[in-house]
């Protein structure tokens, strides 16, 4: 459900246990309800409604701003954490060296998260289409 005064729409994989844990934590911190959470793993989610495809959204964290611009990866997290009061951490995350490290670490995580969360088959294939997420 779209909050009244949202500042960012977060597209997250509700079938990913690590992602779900972080989103639940962010929900608790979002006291002003400025974040619109959209679970891309729900069976009724349609990526085309947002002008993108499921694979793109599954490859890394995506968020949309009210003006229609997209942010992704570490920058999406920076925007989210700024909204819930962690601007000082976001500032540090932009420092040279730290920024590069975070970008690299996130790329490694994003490439491997399906495997690391047990969502790949022994043959190496990983499920990327919407499933039956239990979180909203």
Res. 82: pLDDT tops 90: yes
Q: How far apart are CA 47 and CA 41, in angstroms?
A: 10
pLDDT tens-digit readout, 18-53:
899 999 999 999 999 999 999 999 999 999 999 999
Count of domains in the chain?
1
pLDDT of residue 47: 94
Domain membership flag for residue 128: no
- The whole-model pTM stands at 0.84
Domain membership flag for residue 13: yes
* DSSP classification of residue 95: S
Domain encompassing residue 95: 8-116
pLDDT of residue 4: 84
Helices (H), the chain: 17-29, 54-59, 74-83, 87-93, 98-116
Reported as half-sphere exposure (CB side, CA atoms, 13 A), residue 45 has a value of 30
Residue 9's CB: how many other CB atoms inside 10 A?
18
Q: How far apart are CA 63 and CA 12, in angstroms?
A: 9
Domain membership flag for residue 122: no
């Amino acid at each position: 459900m779209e909050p009244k005064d949202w500042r960012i729409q977060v597209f997250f994989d509700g079938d990913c246990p690590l992602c779900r844990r972080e989103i639940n934590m962010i929900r608790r911190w979002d006291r002003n309800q400025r974040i619109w959470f959209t679970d891309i793993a729900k069976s009724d989610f349609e990526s085309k409604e947002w002008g993108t495809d499921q694979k793109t959204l599954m490859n890394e964290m995506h968020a949309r701003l009210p003006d229609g611009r997209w942010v992704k990866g570490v920058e999406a997290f920076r925007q989210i954490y700024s909204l819930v009061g962690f601007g000082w951490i976001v500032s540090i995350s932009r420092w040279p060296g730290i920024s590069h490290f975070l970008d690299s670490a996130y790329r490694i995580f994003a490439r491997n998260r399906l495997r690391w969360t047990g969502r790949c088959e022994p043959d190496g294939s990983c499920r990327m289409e919407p499933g039956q997420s239990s979180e909203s």
